[in-house]
């Protein structure tokens, strides 16, 4: 399990208030319970805050699942 995934798991658990939630690279809004539009907004802000990165407008719309998100975050963290 990648470091980012472990880290994201905790953020997802906090934001979605589900301490036993297990996310994988394949998880998406369709497969994770309670990942609605408001939760999505809160997830994005929590991730930006935690990793000190910023997603540009439109970047997130392209993502299919958590795996895509991790790849995007890795790119951003690499050029920091």
**Of residues 3 and 17, the one with the C-beta less far from another protein:** 17
CA atoms within a 13 Å half-sphere pointing along the CA-CB vector of 20: 0
Told to check if 42 binds another protein by CB under 8 A, we report: yes
Q: How far is the CB of 16 from another protein (least distance, A)?
A: 7
Q: How far is the CB of 3 from another protein (least distance, A)?
A: 19
Chain positions 9 to 28 lying near another protein, rule: CB under 8 A, are: 11, 14-17
Cα 53 to Cα 35: distance, rounded to the nearest angstrom: 21
Helices 66-78, 3-16: crossing angle, 10 deg rounding:
120
Told to check if 62 binds another protein by CB under 8 A, we report: no
- Pick from 8, 6, 3: nearest CA to 69: 8
Binding site residues, another protein, CB under 8 A:
11, 14-17, 37-38, 41-42, 45-46, 49, 55-57, 60
């Amino acid at each position: 399990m990648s470091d980012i995934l472990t880290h994201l798991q905790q953020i997802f658990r906090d934001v979605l208030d589900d301490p036993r939630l297990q996310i994988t690279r394949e998880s998406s809004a369709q497969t994770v319970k309670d990942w609605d539009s408001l939760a999505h907004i809160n997830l994005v802000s929590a991730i930006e805050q935690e990793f000190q990165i910023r997603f540009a407008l439109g970047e997130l719309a392209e993502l299919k699942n958590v795996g895509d998100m991790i790849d995007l975050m890795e790119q951003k963290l690499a050029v920091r």
